[in-house]
Structure 1
């Protein structure tokens, strides 16, 4: 039995055309896949800081589907991948005698 998590996120990156050297012409874009959004964000941030054009998203059939274009990738970095757990609403029982 394998303990590997299924890879549900991808990060695609490439050198901008204006910076591409002749040796990079052959492979203008590459992709990596990751089991978690946090892993994908960390990798994407590294590539972005190195000057690559970065896009990311979920791999089908993962739902909810998500695609992050390069134009808004910096907003995705600012998101927290783990949403805080909301506690169920609690209601106080107010007795009629407690009302003003």
Structure 2
């Protein structure tokens, strides 16, 4: 039995909306088996100048969400 993904990182990508009149931010999400992998990927996203949020996937407990305003603290282990 393989381990299930527990963490996700959702980030603003460099994908341009299909229609020129769309005024929205396109987001993408990746899933990870460990918090360390999620933190590493989030750091890569932040280094690109993009915003990111993270958290645990349902039904994993305890539930944890990391807003973009706290992502750097989470990466540094100060959460």
User: Which TM-score bucket, shorter chain as reference?
Assistant: 0.7 to 0.9
Counterpart residue number, 1:96: none
Q: Any runs of at least 4 consecutive aligned residues in structure 1 with deviations exceeding 4 A, and if so which?
A: none
Aligned-residue CA RMSD (Å):
1.9
Q: Which residue of 1 aligns with 2:7?
A: 9
Q: From the two aligned structures, give the one with the greater helix fraction.
A: 1
**Cα distance between partner residues in 1 of 2:12 and 2:36:** 20
Specify the structure having the higher radius of gyration (Cα): 1
Ranges in structure 2 where 5+ consecutive residues have no aligned partner: 19-24
2:25 equivalent to 1:33: no
Structure ranking higher in strand proportion: 2
TM-score (norm 2): 0.82
Question: How many residues are aligned here?
Answer: 72
Offset of 1:24 from its aligned partner?
Answer: 1.4
Gaps of 5+ in 1: 81-100
Q: CA deviation at 1:61?
A: 0.6
